[in-house]
């Protein structure tokens, strides 16, 4: 087993045509344009709306919500339809969804991870991009598929994005926290679905998928292939992070999580950022 063999899908992607990279740059430019326009709109005059005031502090909330919605819908469509191989569904995933998602990870690295010094989320983003690059790029996928003919690399990628359902619900919770004047049943419904899907997808389905599918069809380091091992590492990281974040979200109990109490409930869990911890207390003081 040589390093050249292990990293062959990535070197093939870098040496191949630049179609994937061009699409990523296009989506990245679009995200920065949306970010600029949103920031310009929010700062052009004072706002009395709580959600607008919070968006001024966190303009990246809109891109993360959009990314989670798009990738979640696309991944569920892929997985439930069983699209795989070189079909239209796989091509749509590789040439449509993955370039958009990669652009978002880069956007969030620059606009969130670096300013907030959030190393944990930065590592998450980098691992996801590393694993998906040869899947989205045609030259990289050809080499990876030759190394592991039994492994459905596209479905391995799509299954990871099922977890974006919980991210979308988490930020719907964020919006509801600042839009609603007080507790409402919609808040409890959203958080109930969020809690159920968090446990079902992140802590139950993901380990099942790893054991029942990845481990058998994508053997780690078979023929010197590194990609399945990297993917398993990414899944293990997500399971560990999800367990920690669940405890953080439920630190005051399930009832507190399901009921909106202005000034006490955190809209989203604080991840790996010290700045995020300091900023998280500010909205509670102002409400």
- Describe the crossing of helices 119-136 and 8-15 by its angle, rounded to 10 degrees: 70
pLDDT at 278: 40
Identify the CA nearest to 162 among candidates 250, 72, 74, 222. 72
C-alpha distances (whole Å) from 239 to each of 170, 171, 200, 229 are 17, 20, 11, 15
Give the model's pLDDT for residue 222: 66
d(CA 184, CA 262): 12
pLDDT at res. 9: 94
Return phi, psi of residue 283, to 5°. Answer: -60, -40
Q: What are the residue boundaries of the structural domains of the chain, listed by start?
A: 11-286
- Residue 48: the pLDDT is 67
pLDDT of 178 reads 87
| 10-residue mean pLDDT series, the chain (287 residues) | 87 94 97 92 75 82 95 93 66 93 97 93 95 95 90 92 96 91 92 97 96 84 79 93 93 90 59 46 30
Q: Measured between alpha carbons, how far is 69 from 243 in angstroms, rounded to an integer?
A: 22
The half-sphere exposure of 163 on its side-chain side, counting CA atoms within 13 A, is 20
């Amino acid at each position: 087993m040589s390093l050249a063999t292990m990293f062959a899908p990535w070197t093939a992607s870098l040496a191949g045509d630049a179609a994937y990279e061009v699409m990523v740059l296009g989506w990245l430019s679009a995200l920065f344009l949306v970010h600029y326009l949103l920031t310009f709109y929010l700062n052009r005059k004072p706002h009395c709306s709580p959600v607008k005031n919070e968006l001024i502090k966190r303009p990246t909330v809109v891109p993360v919500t959009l990314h989670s919605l798009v990738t979640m819908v696309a991944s569920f469509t892929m997985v439930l339809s069983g699209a795989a191989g070189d079909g239209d569904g796989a091509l749509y995933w590789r040439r449509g969804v993955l370039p958009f998602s990669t652009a978002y990870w880069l956007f969030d690295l620059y606009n969130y991870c670096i300013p907030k010094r959030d190393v944990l989320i930065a590592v998450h983003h980098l691992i996801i991009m590393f694993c998906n690059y040869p899947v989205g790029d045609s030259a990289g996928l050809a080499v990876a598929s030759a190394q592991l003919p039994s492994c459905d690399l596209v479905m391995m990628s799509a299954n990871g994005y099922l977890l974006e359902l919980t991210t979308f619900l988490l930020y719907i919770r964020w919006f509801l926290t600042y839009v609603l004047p007080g507790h409402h049943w919609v808040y409890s419904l959203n958080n109930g679905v969020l809690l159920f899907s968090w446990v079902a997808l992140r802590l139950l389905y993901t380990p099942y998928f790893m054991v029942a599918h990845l481990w058998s069809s994508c053997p780690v380091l078979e023929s010197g292939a590194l990609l399945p091992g990297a993917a398993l590492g990414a899944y293990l990281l997500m399971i560990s992070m999800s367990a920690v974040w669940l405890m953080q979200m439920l630190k005051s109990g399930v009832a507190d999580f399901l009921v909106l109490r202005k000034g006490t409930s955190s809209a989203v869990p604080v991840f790996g950022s010290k700045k995020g911890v300091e900023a998280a207390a500010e909205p509670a003081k102002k409400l």
